[in-house]
Amino acid sequence: MYDAGRLVVGFDLDMTLVDSRKGIVGCMQRVLDARGVAATDEQLWPLIGAPLLDNLALFLPDDQVESAAADYRADYLVQAIEMTVLLPGARELVDAIHDADGTVLVVSAKNPTAVKAVLEHVGINPDIVVGDLFGHDKATPLQEHRATAYIGDHSGDMHAANTAGVRAIGVATGPTDPEALREAGADLVVDDLGDLVSRLDELTAV
């Protein structure tokens, strides 16, 4: 039986709680096209979840990255929010954690304004939201808020959980396949978040 006082579950956002691929890819393509660069869905899809500046730097010279990021963020709030939908099991798992008096923490590479706008749109109400962090850097808020597990779709999420010393849970709804999640340090990999609703004991402190 789990200790509700030690049920503090962290979540990544994009492709973990929400399916945001159409909005992200569309915004990236518009920003790049405005600078004379074409990028296909296939090129952009694997980049979802990584820091925006790093992704733009793959296609643009250094002196264009900051302005492109500003344009992307403005466009995202206008164009992409309405296209974002919950992934299977997301609401059910968040509700189950709250029903068990646990804490829900969202830690994302996306900037906090966009994170909050997305969560409001899909009707998810976490207790804590942290943005602008990727990979190992996500470990800091996980430790600060005494997380017991971190759930994500990206190898960087597994690295963050391992760095923080919490359970690393991979979900196979993003661009990273289950084997790569395991190789990155996942303690458990599930097909979608619904698989965890009846397994809250596996999200508590180890």
Residue 11, pLDDT score: 98
- The pLDDT tens digits of the residues spanning 156-180 come to 999 999 999 999 999 999 999 999 9
Q: Residue 56 is part of a domain; what is its CATH number?
A: 1.10.150.240
Separation of alpha carbons 122 and 82, rounded Å: 9
Q: Which of 32, 45, 49 is nearest to 171 (CA)?
A: 49
Separation of alpha carbons 98 and 109, rounded Å: 24
**At which of 83, 100, 117 does a domain end?**
83
- Do 152 and 73 share a domain, yes or no? no
In eight-state DSSP terms, residue 14 is B
- Do 35 and 11 share a domain, yes or no? no
Would you place residue 205 in the very low, low, confident or very high pLDDT band (cuts 50, 70, 90)? low
Among left, alpha and beta (phi > 0; psi -120 to 50; other), residue 180 is alpha
- Do 120 and 49 share a domain, yes or no? no
- Do 57 and 126 share a domain, yes or no? no
How many helices and strands in the chain, by DSSP H and E?
Answer: 9, 8
Residue 1, pLDDT score: 40
Would you place residue 2 in the very low, low, confident or very high pLDDT band (cuts 50, 70, 90)? very low
Would you place residue 93 in the very low, low, confident or very high pLDDT band (cuts 50, 70, 90)? very high
**What backbone torsions phi and psi does residue 71 show, to the nearest 5 degrees?**
-65, -40
Would you place residue 6 in the very low, low, confident or very high pLDDT band (cuts 50, 70, 90)? confident
- Do 77 and 146 share a domain, yes or no? no
Would you place residue 206 in the very low, low, confident or very high pLDDT band (cuts 50, 70, 90)? low
- Do 50 and 96 share a domain, yes or no? no
pTM of the model: 0.92
Q: Residue 121 is part of a domain; what is its CATH number?
A: 3.40.50.1000
Mean pLDDT, the chain, rounded, equals 95
- Do 14 and 115 share a domain, yes or no? yes
Percent of the chain whose pLDDT exceeds 70: 97
Residue 4, pLDDT score: 46
- The pLDDT tens digits of the residues spanning 22-64 come to 999 999 999 999 999 999 999 999 999 889 999 999 999 999 9
- The pLDDT tens digits of the residues spanning 102-146 come to 999 999 999 999 999 999 999 999 999 999 999 999 999 999 999
Provide the terminal-to-terminal Cα distance of the chain, rounded to the nearest Å.
13
111 to 94, 108, 132: CA distances (angstroms): 21, 8, 5
Domain of residue 134 covers 4-19+85-203
- Do 133 and 179 share a domain, yes or no? yes
Q: Which residues contact 119 (CB under 8 A, 6 or more apart)?
A: 13, 17, 106, 125, 126, 129
Rounded to an integer, the average pLDDT of 57-80 is 97
- The pLDDT tens digits of the residues spanning 188-200 come to 999 999 999 999 9
